[in-house]
Amino acid sequence: MTTYDKIYINGAWVPSQGKGVLEVTNSATEEIIATIPDGTAGDVDKAVAAARAAFPAWSNLPKETRAEYLMKIYAGLEERTQEIAEAIAREVGMPVGMSTMIQVGLPKGNFAIAAGLLSTYEFEQQIGNSLVVREPLGVVGCITPWNYPLHQIALKIAPAMAAGNTVVVKPSEVAPINAFMLAEIIHAAGVPAGVFNLVTGVGPVVGEAIAAHPGVDMVSFTGSTRAGKRVAVVAAENVKKVSLELGGKSPNLILDDLDEAGFAKAVGAGVGKCFANSGQTCSALTRMLVPRNRLAAAEQIAAAAAAKFTTGDPFDAASRLGPLVSAVQRDRVRGFIQTGIDEGATLVMGGAAVPEGLDIGFYVQPTIFSGVTREMTIFTEEIFGPVLSIIAYDSEEEAIEIANDTVYGLAAGVWGSDVEHAKKVARRLQAGQVEVNGGSFNIAAPFGGYKQSGLGREGGTFGLEEFCEVKAMQL
């Protein structure tokens, strides 16, 4: 077991004011693998003071110099890729091969993109007699989740630091080991003291203190909609800028113009889009909409595809689905599965029982429901597990209506033989990003949601601009 007994403030590892510790669990073995400080509001005060003191010098550095620091962080992540990937596999449960590509690959990409933007992005533009400039906000508080823990930190701090801000980060207490590794890399990169600060702890204490702190100029939060609403309320007391990336219940609309092969491809790919990271993905395509006359075919294809998602140890090369992150999450997902059964959905495969041979670890069977209607809990609630709902529609108009019948609007998918028609349908979906015929995820494109999926955008140029204030100088 590893003991992390300090937090990172003002360029140094210092004791927390808190006396308690939080335990970190291996999701596959249920063993305690680390402890971290249970931080306090006083720790946040110190971190914010350090960030405010560091802001003037950091924001006035040439942007080329900031880019050099970001690339040093990138190099540090590259050097420790395997170590970090294995840590996240233990914390979160993603199979280690995928963890290497996704859980570490995406953060590396975020730092490289932010550094690259500093050589191309124009922070000033002339509009008539006005010089419009984008300037750093000041201190950014970053509150991040456990499902893609390092990616969500990098997606915030890389553009925030690139723009000239300093940061205070509260990682998820469920998956924090990777954040300590990142802090070590940032320290080794020689980033000036106070630019990056790490305070661990629980949301109601450390997260609340960051959101409420008058010395924090912006809060960037990723997590549940419930917690995001609380962040927005607390931050509003100081009228600070808030960026929220929240939940999703994303539809995958498979149009009726596909031939048999195209339909099979769409359904099979849709299963993968639902089950990625054991379904612990806010943008997972969890509601598959299919023509009613092809419902039986969709069930068969989906079941065959899901059967290939072998559930097991994240360090077993044969595993495609690891455990969920915690006992709480496992029990929550199993509860939703049982609710789906109780409310009359057709269980195509899977179920609420423990997967065979996996009594230890937070495992859930890959599960597919069909005959799901809008009145059912599994239609409306974000489950955050490997659970797919298949919904039948009778017309394209009805399909679009069903797809948009959610308080969320983070992501969506459309499949069709006519790409131009599929794009027209995609334009009518109320979602921040829509995959057309399985289009690949692009980390340089804007990521964020409509409705209760959040406010603002992350990624690429749009993400950089979130961390800037706009000033017009009339000349």
Q: For the chain, what percentages of helix, strand and coil (3-state, to nearest 5) are there? A: 45, 20, 35
Residue linked to tokens 């993968």: 272
Could you say which DSSP state residue 239 is in?
A: T
Helix intervals (H) in 26-93:
41-59, 63-79, 81-92
CB 370 within 8 A of CB 348: yes
Cα distance between residue 475 and residue 463, in whole Å? 29
Neighbours of 473 (CB within 10 A): 10
* Pairing, β 139-143 against β 218-222: parallel
Specify the amino acid at residue 355. P
Q: 137-170 as b/e, with b when 16 or more CB fall inside 10 Å?
A: bbbbbbbbbbbbbbbbbbbbbbbbbbbbbbbbbb
Helix/strand/coil for 121: coil
Helix/strand/coil for 391: strand
Residue linked to tokens 């008058």: 214
Helix intervals (H) in 276-315:
295-307
Chain centre to alpha carbon of residue 382: 14
245 catalytic residue (yes or no): yes
User: Which one of the listed residues 91, 173, 208, 245 is annotated catalytic?
Assistant: 245
31 catalytic residue (yes or no): no
User: Which one of the listed residues 142, 282, 382, 466 is annotated catalytic?
Assistant: 282
- Calculate ∠ Cα 449-453-455, nearest 5°: 65
Q: 88-110 as b/e, with b when 16 or more CB fall inside 10 Å?
A: bbbbbbbbbebbbebbbbbbbbb
Q: What are the catalytic residues?
A: 245, 282
